[in-house]
Amino acid sequence: MKTIDIIGVQMDLGASRRGVNMGPMAIRYGGLCEGLEQLGFAVNDLGDIAPLVTGATAPYMRNYEQVIELNRRLYQMVAAALEQDHFPVVLGGDHSIAAGSISAAARHYRNIGVIWIDAHGDWNNEESTPSGNMHGMPFSAVCGHGPDCMVDFGGPPALVDVRRCVQIGGRDIDDRERLRMKRAGVTVFPINTIDKLGMQAVIGQAIDIAGTGTEGIHLSFDIDAIDPQAAPGTGTVVHSGLTVREAFLAVESLADSGKLVSMDMVEVNPILDERNKTAILASQLIQSALGKAVY
């Protein structure tokens, strides 16, 4: 029986709007642990970690000390889960936490791919960011394009090969960020490409890119990838997103591939939600990524 380690991260300091620190509990209330147990998993809920009360900040890396320190603790927890052959499910919190979770998976497996489902690129660094919000930087950081401090956990960082990284659903990518992504060579399937090709073709290509020649795939799923009519409980809303069925098809395909080794579900903001519908959706998406079948 496979063991799932649930790790909550009460982080909202990487974002401009507060409230996603309550996301982990909302997703749990959405039936996550019970659903995973019904799938036959042993569920080990490790509770939540929270940032330092205060810390240093800077205009182009806001609250950087708290973000980095929390990522260091998350890195250690995910590394410990993987060492026990457990599957880590990280509940955010804002997307800055992916720096810690992906770095731990990359260190453990040495060679992983990443599928990043998000309305945003998260490929800024301290020089390109228009806001200074660090939840817009982790994808860049784990691929070695900075900020380096986000992946400095002692010793040389375990970086992900950008040729094995895929961004799906982007529709609000900053101008300088877009140039950085193109220069780095990350594969991007923006929302208009999904419109043209369909999610089945897109996720199939993404799994090939991230899963071929690697030890597995880390899924980092930002709930704002989904259209806000279906997922209103998130802080950086962008209209015309993925449909709910497109989102489920993506995670169901990842489950069918057998290549998923770890995952994040981030940016659920209960303050902005409607009767916990976004958190319930996040819970159901996690379960589907781990094998819950429609039929």
Active site residues: 95, 118, 120, 122, 135, 222, 224, 267
Q: In the beta sheet, which residues pair with residue 293?
A: none
List the one residue out of 172, 192, 184, 112 whose CA is nearest residue 145: 184
Interhelix angle for 277-289 vs 244-257, to 10°? 30
Q: Are 233 and 278 in contact (CB under 8 A)?
A: yes
What is the distance, to the nearest Å, from the Cα of residue 31 to the centroid of all Cα atoms in its chain? Answer: 20
Residues 6+ apart with CB under 8 A from 237: 224, 228
Q: Are 225 and 241 in contact (CB under 8 A)?
A: yes
DSSP reduced 3-state for 21 = helix
In angstroms, the CA 102 to CA 169 distance is: 20
Helix (H) or strand (E) holding 9: strand 3-9
Residues 6+ apart with CB under 8 A from 203: 168, 249, 250, 253, 254
List the one residue out of 145, 152, 149, 103 whose CA is nearest residue 128: 145
Alpha-carbon separation of residue 175 from 125, 150, 180 (angstroms): 13, 22, 9
